[in-house]
Structure 1
Amino acid sequence: MDESDTAAILPGDVLGATSEDNRQPDSCDGHKREEEDAAAPTTNVLRPTLTCSLPVTVEPVLFLAMFSVALQAPLSTQYLWDRISEDLGYNGTKTSECSNSSVPPDPLQKEVETLTAHWNLYISLGGFSVGLLVVPLLGSWSDLAGRRLVLIIPNFGLALQAVVYLVVMYLKLPVVYFLLGRLLSGLSGDFNAVLAGCFSYVADISDRRSRTFRVAVLEACLGLSGMLASIIGGQWRRAQGYINPFWLVLATNLAAALYAYLFVRESVLPDPSAKLLTARHHKAVWHLYSTGGRSNESGGRLHRCRLWLYTLCFFLVVTVHFGSRELYVLYELSSPLCWGSALIGYGSAAQHLAYLSSLLGLKIMQRCLEDSWVALMGLASNITGLVVFSVADTTQLMFTGYGLCFLFMAATPVLRSKLSKLVDPSEQGVLFASVACVESLCFLVGSSIFNSLYPAALHFMKGFPFLFAAIILLIPAGIIGTLQCLDQRRDRTESTMSS
């Protein structure tokens, strides 16, 4: 099938979409504005038969999928530690930097830590490398075959991974089988495919004005489910071990797939002739970033540059989020803070509550500010919080940093929304699949850089990684501000010429 057969779905032609000029969110009669019908192309437009909007669409799918991932990630790491300790005959506990003990570190403990870190790295790299090939394939395919399949298939893959992990735990198989489960999940697209499918779906059903907030709601689902999983996972493992929580992981993934199958209405009318296994889908990613996509077929380097610049901003912001997040607990456990589990739990809760405060702040600020200025406010909140973290030597100062970060998640939904508005409606799947792959790369890069920088900075400034993160965020802030100023200047010029 060549490019002329591609289904182009207009924002106003999809489930739940509304006009910016005449919104009727409760209307289920399927009528479209006359302006949209006149502007719609006469060919290559497929319209879904269901157009009744729902207040909740793919949010439960993302919530459940994120819950399963957030629940199993720390548990699998702890299981690796326990299994490797058992295999090596180590039965000690990790020593704290705040301990007054002068006993030298146990070399067996160092070996357990090293092997656990290595296996974590192998498992993450295995899932990332397979997903890097599969996720763009599924994302581009969803532009033709529909979004629901891309919400169902990866959740079954995550469920299969949970089954493999359960078998390993029941039979006490070698930990290498964890890598097998991760690879099987990667072949189905893994959690990144769920991300791509959910954000693509929201882009399909929202108009340009409401898209940023709908994306922010999905971001808030990620934070809330992560917080809930963190609270449940640790307590449950201490009470009942590893196996029962992983049964919940399996049930959650199956529930997400079942919800997508039963309740999520298709936003793209499926093309029966769409093929999954074809190089055309990967070429669509190349075409998107090399030419700016179909919305830029008339030419123009500025459009393509904006796509790259906003992707760069997203990469830097998310890399800082992932990288700094891994240091919070280590920073709090060690001197001079020496927090216990209770304070660490409160700190984690404060960090996750920022997802809700960011959502609320974004909704309020959108009433009087452009999206770009909202993103800059979010970056300013994040930067000030990181600067406070870099010098925090008391509990009060640490929680002050958490308080200042109350808008730190306002930038990423704005960037996702801006990227979505730059591409053609028929390219939302390939765009968000690419963004999901970038997000995986952010995790690897952020984890590598900040976990290497932290021990290197201990001898001159323990909080330097947080200060470094704040400096990095100045780059996307400058890019976003510059692009917004250029847009405003262009708008003033056009209005002057038209008058």
Structure 2
Amino acid sequence: MEERANSRGETRAWPAGPVLCRGCVEPLIFLANFALVLQGPVTTQYLWHRFSADLGYNGTRDRGSCTNHSVDPTAQVGDGVGDGQPRVRNGTLVIRPLPPQKVETLTSHWTLYMNMGGFLVGLFSSTLLGAWSDCVGRRPLLVLASLGLLLQTVLSIFVVQLQLHVGYFVLGRILCALLGDFSGLLAAGFASVADVSSSRTRTIRMALLEACIGVAGMLASLIGGNWLQEQGYANPFWLALALLIAMTLYAAFCFGETVKEATPARLFTLRHHRSIVQLYVTQAPEKSRKHLALYSLAIFVVITVHLGAQDILTLYELSTPLCWDSRLIGYGSAAQHLPYLTSLLGLRLLQYCLADTWVAEIGLAFNIMGMVVFAFATITPLMFTGYGLLFLSLVVTPVIRAKLSRLVRESEQGALFSAVACVNGLAMLTASGIFNSLYPATLNFMKGFPFLLGAGLLFIPAVLIGILERANHCPEFQQFSQSP
């Protein structure tokens, strides 16, 4: 919802447009993630093959081996193989292409550039827009974020169709982040769920929203992998564009506003950022600053590991010894999103006999085991075993989000989930910086080392959640705790 100035220099909101129906926020999140997951692995594979063509690498996957048949078989060690420079042998000019590690490194680094560009802009915009939505309502943020995702997809189509420089992927990511990005969409989505749910049902409602993310990702992965195998890179982007157009129209005309009393408010003001800072520095009867800070740290580490693993999984599967094709990558990505659904079912069942804290600890345990299996996976069945062990890995984030939501007032939900969106963006940058830099650096001695690092990092939220649960039973913290 835009603003305009009246004759006195005050701001007021544009009048709300017609609403065709009072729809919920779940379809928005479903469509957005479907479009994003449809594009994610396709973008990575496009970068892989684009750099392969540019560098002269002609890797094949015959008989499960990613060998480069264009390398001169008579080359000796120390003869300059793999430097991309021409050599003369027996009077014949031979050009030996760069090894596949160079392609992996370039792909990993450009993924880092995209994530970094999105974070640096989103750090400002998502926190500003989320707190703004506490005043003007959730719909304006949902519309802006939808338009940003739409604009990013249009630029991606130009890159693929016109063979533009891959730097336009970074530009699209920055423009998307400027309008809120997917993190802003999630902030508005989780805040709207908190607006209409009770303290008792909030955890399962948060898990239901995350399940929409997972189901959309699973379906998009299955469609994208097979579609890419048959028809190339362009068509998945066109489908994503159509879905994002539908999502933008739904956000503008069908979403039912959940803020009871929307009031006009300036967008570009420091007051919105101050409201987020005050969550952590101002003492209030409703919250414990220590709990807010430590739960935020816990969700930061969890998201860092999840996003870091996602960033390198496609590369890990494309290269030797797994050497997956587009269809297998689609199946792997679907398996990667299946825990969103299985975690929802597991959370609902485990809540009958266990507190939310124990459910989160069980989820972290399975997550750690899955990461360890990934680290040593050299064959396809072992890789899917790792995916199977993650079936409860995503019960952690809805539990933490629900606990955070209970620590603030209703009028602070947008600011809270803007802070969580900021944490999500910081986690994305940290994940890209660590995993996308560590992966190429460890290719020579242990390819799966980043997954082992992720498993070790997950012990941090496991300890923090246990400490906070124990603190809830101490007299000095009982005034802040609420029943789940």
TM-score (norm 1): 0.78
Partner of 1:366 in structure 2? 351
Q: Does 1:93 align with 2:58?
A: yes
Aligned-partner Cα distance in 2 for 1:115–1:402 = 26
Which residue identity lines up with residue 144 of structure 1 in the other structure? Answer: C
8 Å CA contact retained: 2:143, 2:251: yes
8 Å CA contact retained: 2:225, 2:327: no
8 Å CA contact retained: 2:51, 2:103: yes
Partner of 1:312 in structure 2? 297
8 Å CA contact retained: 1:84, 1:116: yes
Percent pairwise identity: 53
Superposition pairs of residues 210-289 of structure 1, within 5 angstroms: 210-289=201-280
Cα distance per residue 1:299-357 (max 9 Å; x no partner): xxxx1011010001001111111122334444445555555555544443333222211
SS in 2 for 1:410: helix
Q: Does 1:58 align with 2:58?
A: no
Which residue identity lines up with residue 226 of structure 1 in the other structure? Answer: G
Cα distance per residue 1:231-263 (max 9 Å; x no partner): 222333343344333222222112112222333
SS in 1 for 2:473: helix
8 Å CA contact retained: 1:145, 1:269: no
SS in 1 for 2:393: coil
Residue in structure 1 matching 2:43, options 76, 80, 84? 76
Q: Which runs of 5+ in 2 are unaligned?
A: 1-20, 72-80, 85-96, 480-484
Residue in structure 2 matching 1:181, options 164, 169, 172? 172
Partner of 1:155 in structure 2? 146
Superposition pairs of residues 347-426 of structure 1, within 5 angstroms: 347-426=332-411
Superposition pairs of residues 486-497 of structure 1, within 5 angstroms: 486-490=471-475
8 Å CA contact retained: 2:148, 2:176: yes
Partner of 1:35 in structure 2? none
Cα distance per residue 1:470-496 (max 9 Å; x no partner): 2211111111112112223549999xx
Superposition pairs of residues 290-305 of structure 1, within 5 angstroms: 290-291=281-282, 295-296=286-287, 303-305=288-290
Partner of 1:131 in structure 2? 122
8 Å CA contact retained: 2:115, 2:428: no
The alpha carbon displacement at 1:281 in A equals 0.7
Aligned-partner Cα distance in 2 for 1:469–1:448 = 13
Q: From the superposition, tell whether residues 191 and 493 of structure 1 become closer, same or farther in structure 2 (CA, over 3 Å).
A: closer
Question: How many residue pairs get matched?
Answer: 433
8 Å CA contact retained: 1:332, 1:338: yes
Which residue identity lines up with residue 394 of structure 2 in the other structure? Answer: M
Q: From the superposition, tell whether residues 280 and 174 of structure 1 become closer, same or farther in structure 2 (CA, over 3 Å).
A: same
The alpha carbon displacement at 1:93 in A equals 3.0
The alpha carbon displacement at 1:191 in A equals 1.3
8 Å CA contact retained: 1:294, 1:424: no
Aligned-partner Cα distance in 1 for 2:219–2:178 = 28
Aligned-partner Cα distance in 2 for 1:336–1:178 = 29
Aligned-partner Cα distance in 1 for 2:379–2:333 = 17
Superposition pairs of residues 427-438 of structure 1, within 5 angstroms: 427-438=412-423
Aligned-partner Cα distance in 2 for 1:314–1:228 = 26
Aligned-partner Cα distance in 2 for 1:68–1:463 = 29
Q: Does 1:143 align with 2:125?
A: no
The alpha carbon displacement at 1:168 in A equals 4.5
Q: From the superposition, tell whether residues 159 and 325 of structure 1 become closer, same or farther in structure 2 (CA, over 3 Å).
A: closer
Cα distance per residue 1:96-148 (max 9 Å; x no partner): 79446683446365666655544443333222211111111110000000011
Q: From the superposition, tell whether residues 287 and 122 of structure 1 become closer, same or farther in structure 2 (CA, over 3 Å).
A: same
TM-score (norm 2): 0.80
Cα distance per residue 1:19-65 (max 9 Å; x no partner): xxxxxxxxxxxxxxxxxxxxxxxxxxxxxxxxxx98x7211100111
SS in 2 for 1:159: helix
Residue in structure 2 matching 1:473, options 458, 465, 469? 458
SS in 2 for 1:265: coil
Residue in structure 2 matching 1:121, options 107, 112, 123? 112
Aligned-partner Cα distance in 2 for 1:396–1:242 = 27
Q: From the superposition, tell whether residues 324 and 118 of structure 1 become closer, same or farther in structure 2 (CA, over 3 Å).
A: closer
Runs of 4+ in 1 over 6 A off after TM superposition: 491-494
Aligned-partner Cα distance in 2 for 1:171–1:376 = 48
Aligned-partner Cα distance in 2 for 1:332–1:172 = 25
Aligned-partner Cα distance in 1 for 2:108–2:454 = 23
Which residue identity lines up with residue 452 of structure 1 in the other structure? Answer: S
Aligned-partner Cα distance in 2 for 1:436–1:179 = 20
The alpha carbon displacement at 1:273 in A equals 2.7
8 Å CA contact retained: 2:128, 2:272: yes
Q: From the superposition, tell whether residues 333 and 153 of structure 1 become closer, same or farther in structure 2 (CA, over 3 Å).
A: closer
SS in 2 for 1:276: coil
Aligned-partner Cα distance in 2 for 1:174–1:336 = 30
SS in 1 for 2:265: coil
Q: Which runs of 5+ in 1 are unaligned?
A: 1-52, 297-302, 495-499
The alpha carbon displacement at 1:190 in A equals 1.3
Q: From the superposition, tell whether residues 468 and 255 of structure 1 become closer, same or farther in structure 2 (CA, over 3 Å).
A: same
Q: From the superposition, tell whether residues 68 and 342 of structure 1 become closer, same or farther in structure 2 (CA, over 3 Å).
A: closer
Aligned-partner Cα distance in 2 for 1:116–1:127 = 17
The alpha carbon displacement at 1:397 in A equals 3.9
Pairwise CA RMSD:
3.1
The alpha carbon displacement at 1:364 in A equals 0.6
Q: From the superposition, tell whether residues 346 and 157 of structure 1 become closer, same or farther in structure 2 (CA, over 3 Å).
A: closer
Which residue identity lines up with residue 453 of structure 1 in the other structure? Answer: L
Q: From the superposition, tell whether residues 294 and 109 of structure 1 become closer, same or farther in structure 2 (CA, over 3 Å).
A: farther
Partner of 1:44 in structure 2? none
Partner of 2:9 in structure 1? none
Aligned-partner Cα distance in 2 for 1:407–1:419 = 21
SS in 1 for 2:223: helix
Aligned-partner Cα distance in 1 for 2:374–2:108 = 26
